[in-house]
Amino acid sequence: MAQDNGTVVGQFILLGFSDLPKLQGILFAIFLSIYLSILIGNGLLIFLIKNDPGLQTPMYFFLGNFSFLEICYTSVILPRMLADLWTQQRTISFLACAVQTCFFFILGIAECFLLTAMAYDRYVAICKPLYYPLIMNHRVCVQLVVASWMTGIPVMTEQTYQLFSLNFCGPNKINHIFCDAPPLFKLACGDTYKIEVSVQVVALFFILTPFLLILASYAKILTTVLKLPSSSGRSKAFSTCFSHLMVVGLFYGSGSIVYFQPKSSSSEESVKVFSLFYTTVTPVFNPLIYSLRNKDVIAALRKLFPK
């Protein structure tokens, strides 16, 4: 059954929520509603930022790109999951699994770096307000966004190649909702230790580095805000950062639980739940978090929907 070289498995089976056969229709309706909410909410935010003159600032430029990234990120996962729930087939070809994993890696890293760029924007706005127009000019903003999107492509492509160069010669059932590294390692034949360590180190670097930069930005912001003489000034400064901090907390919190908790204390079901959290829940709440707490976005919505 097994061979020494080459990949025997030609396709995988994504088990997903197959252990809940009576709830497939309900789950399909729930995830379809979630996906439509992500498309409509983030799409509306992009439309407002693109067309409202009051939102033509670096902060909203980054937010528009972040909303577009959220749409791309979930579109790698949810359409496939919806198709599996609807057809009950659950099979995915080896190539399709590799492509999904690669895009998932690349977009996940892009989100980490884009959140860092947004934190840097807030740092300059609050800590260096007089130099803000000079530092955060349009050219710099575009460069930061392009760097966020492009940085992970070569490294994550290489990581995906290494992962799918493993010999998959036995079971082909992935107990997960999409193709990802941890469940795939469990199916690989032979010694996977070196590649697992490589993936962990790269993930740690590309996730931890942006997170530390975000923490450094907000440490500087906090120091500056506490020195402000008026309580109203401090409240306004904290208000502009709160939405971003909520998104950072949701994304990094759930992602860290999935990728960095010890294997001995993790269960496959809990991994599924937390994976859903950062791939679907955060993109749903993103437009709500940024709109409900933002007077400029609310004003733009009132112009669009005056009644």
Question: In terms of C-beta density within 10 A (0-12 exposed, 13-18 middle, 19 or more buried), how is residue 5 classed?
Answer: exposed
**Of residues 47 and 274, which shows the higher confidence score?**
47
| pLDDT tens digit sequence for 63-94 | 999 999 999 999 999 999 999 889 888 899 99
pLDDT at res. 2 = 42
Residue where the block lists tokens 């061979």: 3
Q: What are phi and psi of 123, to 5 degrees?
A: -60, -50
d(CA 85, CA 12): 16
Q: Which of 140-154, 215-229, 274-288 has the lowest mean pLDDT?
A: 274-288
CATH of domain 18-304: 1.20.1070.10
Residue range 144-166: mean pLDDT, rounded: 92
pLDDT at res. 8 = 67
The answer to whether residues 50 and 255 touch, using CB atoms and an 8 Å cutoff, is no
The answer to whether residues 221 and 122 touch, using CB atoms and an 8 Å cutoff, is yes
| Token reading at 153 | 């492509």
The band of 53, judged by pLDDT with boundaries at 50, 70 and 90, is confident
d(CA 158, CA 203): 13
Residue where the block lists tokens 């402000």: 228
Query: Is residue 259 pLDDT above 80, yes or no?
Result: no
**Per this entry, what is the length of the chain?**
307
CA terminus-to-terminus distance, the chain:
67
| Token reading at 143 | 């460069």
Q: Which of 44-58, 130-144, 279-293 has the lowest mean pLDDT?
A: 279-293
The answer to whether residues 81 and 275 touch, using CB atoms and an 8 Å cutoff, is no
Helices (H) and strands (E) in the chain, counts: 12, 3
pLDDT averaged over every residue in the chain: 84
pLDDT at res. 114 = 93
d(CA 241, CA 246): 9
Which residues lie closer than 8 Å to 90 by C-beta, 6 or more apart? Answer: 13, 14, 15, 16, 18, 84
The answer to whether residues 118 and 67 touch, using CB atoms and an 8 Å cutoff, is no
pLDDT at res. 298 = 81
d(CA 195, CA 187): 14
Which residues lie closer than 8 Å to 22 by C-beta, 6 or more apart? Answer: none
The answer to whether residues 180 and 92 touch, using CB atoms and an 8 Å cutoff, is no
d(CA 199, CA 156): 9
Question: In terms of C-beta density within 10 A (0-12 exposed, 13-18 middle, 19 or more buried), how is residue 4 classed?
Answer: exposed
The band of 4, judged by pLDDT with boundaries at 50, 70 and 90, is very low
pLDDT at res. 75 = 94
pLDDT at res. 263 = 60
pLDDT > 70: percent of the chain: 89
**Of residues 203 and 259, which shows the higher confidence score?**
203
pLDDT at res. 276 = 81
